[in-house]
Chains A and B, each alone.
Chain A
Amino acid sequence: MNIFRYAPLAIQLAMIFIVIATAGTLLAYFSILRSRYLGYRQDKRMSYLLPKVDNLIIEEVLTNPEVTETSYSDQLILNTEGFQELPMHKKWVREAITGRIMHFRRNVRGNMGQMLRSLYMQLDLDKDTMKKMKSGKWEKKVQALTEFINMDMSISDVTILPLTNSRNRELRAAARHAYIKLSKNEPFKFFDVVTEPLLMWDQVELFRIISSTEDIAVPNFARWITYSSNKSVVSFCLKLIVHYNQLPAVPAVIKLLDTKDHYLRANAINCLGKLRVPDVEEKLVSLYSSQPLHCQIEILKALGRISSGRYIDFLKQEFLHSTDFDLRKSAAKSLVKNEWIASQVLQELIDTANPENLRILKHCMNPLIKY
């Protein structure tokens, strides 16, 4: 103690911090052990519970004779006696069962999927999910929304809509996705109002939701191509147009070629190529010389995909005379895609090409090489 009282400030601080550091280290050990114990206990619980749950689900739901019926009735009462023997009053049990049902639903759909959903409701697990929705923590809300989406439960717009304006980005996105999947009104109205750019990740989730919702009312995406000021929405709609092969949207996409944003223009060209719209070839070729490099590459790719055979000469000229390597390679690839009509031209090029161009041609014609 004497040392402490007469020591300079630095030493006093040092002594205090030694105590703090030691206490901190001990606390850390305690936390590590505690967390490992809790994890171990959770593992043990799950290894005991999950096989039982799986068996119950399979016995009751999957081997139920109704499964093979062509029509399925929501009214079907399932035998949940087996479940009542489990400690259903404990929250972790119910959570585990919900999780397991979701896992099953990721593997099967159809009648079996519907029965799993009925099971979820008849075990009152949807009430737990609803409670999570009302929680103050955003992660819990997102969890609840994910559960509702997976279980295909309809929720009132009134519950979801306020969340779409939440300050938390993940919650906003989850609410939007839930709305698209579960609401019966105009699911795509978000494309009208969303002002923030859609992240690549948002697009992955959106695409999954949209393409996996079986009876979704697919609008003509041309609406947003023409009127939306949100570039990421436009670019995402282009991808949806390709996925749903929406040919009626093509005129709107063609108009998009006049946009000043060259990234958007490249996306539009890409879309037209994948849709294989032959009428647009002429316009693309006429635009070609004024485009930045990556748009030019997209135009060449599109000509390859459309494969109408009318612009073989153009491709040939680009291949022989362009100074940029990537343009020559893209032109060659498109020529190869047009092989059904251009095989003579290709043979000619092979016979007369210089070593570098010959290499390009051989590369594009080799089925072992993917890109």
Chain B
Amino acid sequence: MSGILETLGNLYESTLFVYGLVLLIVYALLAFFSMLAIRGYLQKNNDHQLDLLASSPMAPGITILAPAFNEGLTIISNVRSLLTLNYPRYEIVLINDGSTDNTMQLLIDEFKMVVVEYAYNAKIRTQPVKKIYKSTDPAYSSLLVIDKVNGKSKADAVNAGMNIATFNYFVCTDVDCILHKDTLLELIKPVMQEEGKRVIAIGATLRIANSCEFDEGVMTRMRPPRQLLPRFQEVEYIRSFVLGKMGWSYINCVPNVSGGLGLFDKEVAIRSGGYDHSSFGEDMELLTRMCRYAHDNHIDYSIRYIPKTLCWTEAPSTLKIFNRQRTRWSRGLAQLIYAHFGMFMNPRYGKMGLIIFPFNFFFELLAPLIEFTGVVSYIVLAIMGRINWPYAVLLLLFVYTYSVMITTISILWDQLSFRYYKSWKEVLYLCMTPFMEFLLYHPLIVVYSIRGYYYFLTGKKSTWGNMQRQGFGKKK
């Protein structure tokens, strides 16, 4: 009996060991690939190219889809910042998702909007659209507002926008995200420079806006968040985008284009069925379906990322909201893996099936579970007195220093390519955060993720909830 336990124990230990090793190697590879990708991006780009595109009559049209729900505090300044984006040919489709506050009235008053009879073909089914508004002032002629019945999800709102969108590309963003003025130029440029493949989605680095200074929707100073929780998220975002996504982008294996900012090929998005309103991770879910569609229709596609920060979003600063956000994300992941499990190790789906999906399954989905069981078994073994303490401490120390190094490297890549933040002290302050991440932040993520899986298994009803807005008002 004890022999079997012993063997099981050893098997478990070696699996854990291999698992950890593979993860570490993957991160090292990502660090390397992201360096190559960022270097390639910097070599190919200069400011004059943006000017060239901005003044070219051949710039492709882009539709911006911005769903809004009860954004009365900030809606006007956000729409204004969208209206001043630097791009020659675009339209803004704002979808008022049945707001119960004065969002709609504010828009009508500020931008002199009137109801118009708009004819469009609803290719994706959504909650009914009540009215469509356009401005009587030609200065705002690129703005269109859709007033629709609340669909209880961002997905439904964006789908309604997609139905009306005119151009072949659309940018999906949250109306509370602040976009860089060159966002459209930066996102469409790699699409136009791609050789041989069709870019169906492209994203850029997202950052936390919590301690940044804004003036009517324009960022005047970038600063790492002062509060601890958002600062952890800033570091996490930098690592995830600058190291992670850029690394994946180099080998064309990007698993997800963030819903906060992404440019998509409209035709492929609509033909894949649009966003799924029952999904909790609708951005990743749509991308997976777009990849499936591309594979099924023999489209040679690519999904890319650019290392420049183009979007700033407000991060949850209280545990309660953070909990909700992360639970929702992990629930979405579990849903996605379950729904599309047919792609697992399926060569029919190319890189998606053989690399991305398995990676997401083992190292994103299972990771919290494995960590949790690992910790528990360690505690059990410790109680039973079977731990070799020096070795255990050394292993732990190894994992700790490795994770700090990887995070610091991602901050380094970010600083080398774009010198963000005003003073070096702020950067160093940010660099101190990874030291605490392992002990404070990471356990939170594990717990919330497992909670998300639990909800997925029990099918608990949950709503999107409302981010308590602090607004991007000027700091006093």
Contact = CB atoms under 8 A, between A and B. Distances in A.
Does chain A touch chain B in the assembled complex, meaning CB atoms less than 8 Å apart? Answer: yes
Interface of A: 3, 7-8, 10-11, 14-15, 17-18, 21-22, 24-25, 28-29, 31-33, 35-37, 39, 106, 139, 146, 169-170, 199-201, 203-205, 207-208, 239, 325-326, 329, 356, 359-360, 362-364, 366, 368-371
A169 B193 CA distance: 10
A362 B118 CA distance: 8
A207 B427 contact: no
Interface stretch (B75-83, B287-295, B397-405, B448-456): B397-405
B263 to A, nearest CB: 14
A161 to B, nearest CB: 23
Nearest to A103: B48
B53 A204 contact: yes
Interface in B52-80: 52-53, 55-60
Given A11-B395, A169-B195, A203-B58, A36 B91 contact: no
B391 A11 contact: yes
Interface stretch (B234-242, B374-382, B407-415): B407-415
Interface stretch (B3-11, B134-142, B339-347): B134-142
A35 B412 CA distance: 9
Most chain B beta carbons < 10 A, residue from A169, A201, A363: A201
Contacts of A32: 411-412, 415-416, 424, 427-428, 431
Nearest to A7: B391
Contact of A368 (B114, B405, B419): B114
B44 interface: yes
A35 B195 contact: no
The A interface is mostly helix, strand or loop, or mixed, namely helix
Nearest to B404: A25
Contacts of B32: none
A29 B432 CA distance: 11
Minimum-distance CB pairs A-B, first 5: A200-B192, A21-B401, A363-B119, A14-B398, A201-B192
Nearest to B61: A371
A24 B405 contact: yes
Given A201-B189, A368-B114, A325 B121 contact: yes
A15 B424 contact: no
Nearest to A17: B398
Interface size grouping (class) on chain B: 35 or more
Most chain A beta carbons < 10 A, residue from B119, B166, B411, B415: B119
B401 A22 contact: yes
A28 B397 CA distance: 19
A33 B424 contact: yes
A170 B142 CA distance: 34
Most chain B beta carbons < 10 A, residue from A21, A33, A170, A203: A21
Contacts of B53: 204
B402 A199 contact: no
A236 to B, nearest CB: 9
Given A36-B424, A362-B119, A208 B394 contact: no
A25 B410 CA distance: 11
A346 to B, nearest CB: 15
A360 B402 CA distance: 62
A348 B455 CA distance: 59
A7 B398 CA distance: 15
A362 B51 CA distance: 38
B194 A199 contact: yes
Contacts of B297: none
Given A14-B395, A36-B424, A200-B60, A205 B119 contact: no
A28 B409 contact: yes
A200 B91 CA distance: 21
A106 B402 CA distance: 49
A7 B392 CA distance: 12
A11 B189 CA distance: 48
Nearest to A8: B391
B118 A31 contact: no
A204 B58 contact: yes
B36 interface: no
Contact of B192 (A18, A170, A199, A364): A199
B116 interface: yes
A366 B390 contact: no
Contact of A25 (B57, B60, B405): B405
B353 to A, nearest CB: 28
A194 to B, nearest CB: 14
B56 A146 contact: no
8 contacts: A7-B391, A17-B402, A22-B405, A25-B408, A32-B415, A32-B416, A36-B419, A363-B119
Interface in B4-58: 17, 43-44, 48, 51-53, 55-58
Contacts of A18: 394, 397-398, 401
Contacts of B412: 28, 31-32
Contacts of A368: 114, 116, 134-136, 141
B212 to A, nearest CB: 19
A28 B412 CA distance: 6
A369 B195 contact: no
A35 to B, nearest CB: 5
A170 B189 CA distance: 14
Nearest to A14: B398
Contacts of B424: 32-33, 36-37
A204 B119 contact: no
A371 B91 CA distance: 10
Given A32-B431, A204-B53, A326-B121, A370 B44 contact: no
B415 to A, nearest CB: 5
Nearest to A209: B52
Contacts of B134: 366, 368-369
B58 A239 contact: yes
Given A22-B401, A359-B119, A36 B415 contact: yes
A205 B50 CA distance: 11
B402 A205 contact: no
Nearest to A43: B419
B117 interface: yes
Interface string B110-136: 000010111101000000000000111
Contacts of B408: 24-25, 28-29
Contacts of A208: 52, 55-56
A359 to B, nearest CB: 5
A359 B132 CA distance: 12
Contact of A204 (B48, B52, B136, B141): B52
B411 to A, nearest CB: 7
Contacts of B404: 21, 25
A170 B41 CA distance: 12
Contacts of A33: 424, 428
Given A21-B398, A201-B192, 4 more contacts: A170-B43, A207-B56, A359-B118, A364-B119
A11 B394 contact: yes
Nearest to B58: A204
Nearest to B51: A106
B395 to A, nearest CB: 6
B195 A199 contact: yes
Contacts of B419: 35-36, 39
